Amino acid sequence: MKSDKIKNWPVKERPRERLIAEGAERLTDADLLAIILRVGRGTFKEGVLGQNAPDFAKELLKEFKGLRGLDRAHTEDLRKVPGLGIAKAAQIKAAFELGKRVQSKRLTALSFESSTAVAAHFRPRFIGKRQEVVIAVFLNGQNQSLGEKEITEGTPTQATVYVRRILEEALHVSAAAIVMVHNHPSGNSEPSAGDDDTTRRLLAASRLVELVLLDHIIVGESDHYSYSDSGRFKELEET
C-alpha cells in the first residue's frame, strides 16, 4: 500500500517529478491540481481526516464535479472546504485565470474567417462564467484582430450592450469591422429577442460611421450561433 506522505513515494511517482520528467500533458487533472495545492491537509476535527495533496485534489474534483465546477466556484465556496484556506483558493483561481489568458493571447494571430474559429477561440474564455459577457473584437480590412474589449458583464440571462461604447472603441483603434461575441450561461446558443434588438441597433449604428458588423456570435455549451451564417442579419434589416 502506498504511503500517505508524498515524500515517501518513489520519486518517479510523485506528481511534480513526473511533470518534469514526462511533461505536464501526461498528468491527470488531479495530478496537476495536486502540484498547485503543493501540500494536502492535516488532521481536522469533526471526522475530517488528513490527506496528501493528490488525495485532496481528487476529493476537490469530486466535490466540485470536475475542473469546470472548480473554476465556476466562488472563492468563498472554496474557502469553506476544510484545509482549503485563502492561499490555496487563490492559487487555484490564479491557475485557471492564467490558462484563460494564454488562450486569449492567441487572438492576435487569428484571422476571423469563420464563425467556428471565433467560437472555438472564445469558448474557453467563457467557461465558468455565470453571467453573460459581451466582447467586441475590432478588425482591420484583412479581418485580422486589432484588439478586443469586454463591453459588459450582465446577469445569467442578459447583458446590457452599449452600442455607443462599441463604436467609440472601434473608431479609437481605426477598425474597419466588428465582430460581437457573447455567451449564454444556460448553454443554449439560440438568440433571444434582446439579442436581436441589440444586433439590429448595432447594425444600423455601424453603417452610420462606415463600419461593418461582420458577425454576432453567441457561444453555447457545445455549439454556437452565427447571425451572419444563419442569414439573420438580412431578416433583422427587413423587420
- Domain 6-101 coded CATH 1.10.3720.10: no
Helix ranges restricted to H, the chain: 15-22, 29-37, 53-63, 66-72, 75-79, 86-105, 115-126, 163-172, 193-208, 227-230, 232-238
CATH number of 110-238: 3.40.140.10
pLDDT tens, 157-194?
555 678 888 999 999 989 999 999 999 999 999 999 99
pTM over 0.75: no
Q: Where in the chain is the domain with CATH 1.10.150.20?
A: 6-101
Is it the case that residue 27 has pLDDT exceeding 90? no
C-alpha 235/C-alpha 230 separation (Å) is 10
- In this predicted model, what pLDDT tens digit does every residue of 61-77 receive, in sequence order? 999 999 988 988 899 99
